[in-house]
Amino acid sequence: MNDDSVTKKLMFYFPQCVCDKPIIYHLVKDYNLIVNVYRAKVTPEEEGYLVLDVTGTEEAIQRAIDFVRTFDVTVNYSGKGVVRDEERCSHCGYCVPYCPPGALKIEDRATRKVAYHESECIECLACIHICPFGACTSAF
């Protein structure tokens, strides 16, 4: 990879019937991107999604996105596959040890407020399963 490569978190929403196109293959082969898929559900006769990191030059990523859009796939940059509802979160910190990348963590030792760094989330969904307050939810 070049020094000017960047990593972006993307979400693709698939309409029904796009599942026969090898989109990821083309991202790697034609646009020289490194692809890291966090979550995917692409099945026939259903709408689908793909949450992934792509690493490459800005220009290559943009061209790849343009290519993906030719398939009637919606591309979302916000990357918010897992959403933490500030109002529902009680900041107990129960989720912290279960979060493998440490996206949920206690940064201020005095107040023990739980911070959520969405960009570090790998969408393992552990927090969604265990949060007693239902503070974490999935976009899908």
Partner 1 sequence: MKTYEQINDRIESGKAVVLTADEIMDYVDKKGLKAAAKEVDVVTTATFGPMCSSGCFLNFGHSKPKIRMSEAWVADVLVYTGIAAVDVYLGCTQLRHGDPANMYPPGEFRYGGGHVMEDLVAGKTLQLFALSYGTDCYPLREIRTYFSIQDLNQAIMVNPRNCYQNYNVAINRSDRTIYTYMGKLEPDQKNGNYCSAGQISPLLNDPFYETIGVGTRVWLAGAHGHVYAEGTQHAGGVARTPDGLPMGGAGTLALTGDMKQMKKEFVRGVSFIGYGVSLALGIGIPIPILNEEVLRRACVRDRDILAPVVDYGVDYPQNTGNVIGHVSYEQLRTGQIQVDGKTIEVGSLSSYYKALEVANLLADEIRRGDFRLAAPIAPLCRDTKMRPLVKRGNNR
Binding site for partner 1 (CB under 8 A): 87, 90-98, 106, 109, 111-114, 129-130, 132-134
Nearer residue to partner 1 within complex by CB, 80 or 91 = 91
Kindly tell me which of 15 and 134 has the beta carbon lying closer to partner 1.
Answer: 134
Using only C-alpha atoms, the chain has a radius of gyration, in whole angstroms, of: 17
Q: How far is the CB of 49 from partner 1 (least distance, A)?
A: 22
Contact predicate 36/9, CB 8 Å? no
Q: How far is the CB of 48 from partner 1 (least distance, A)?
A: 24
Q: Provide, rounded to whole angstroms, the least separation between the CB of residue 128 and partner 1.
A: 10
Query: Which amino acid belongs to residue 122?
Result: I
Choose between 71 and 98: whose C-beta lies nearer to partner 1: 98
Closest to partner 1 by CB, 20 vs 87, is: 87
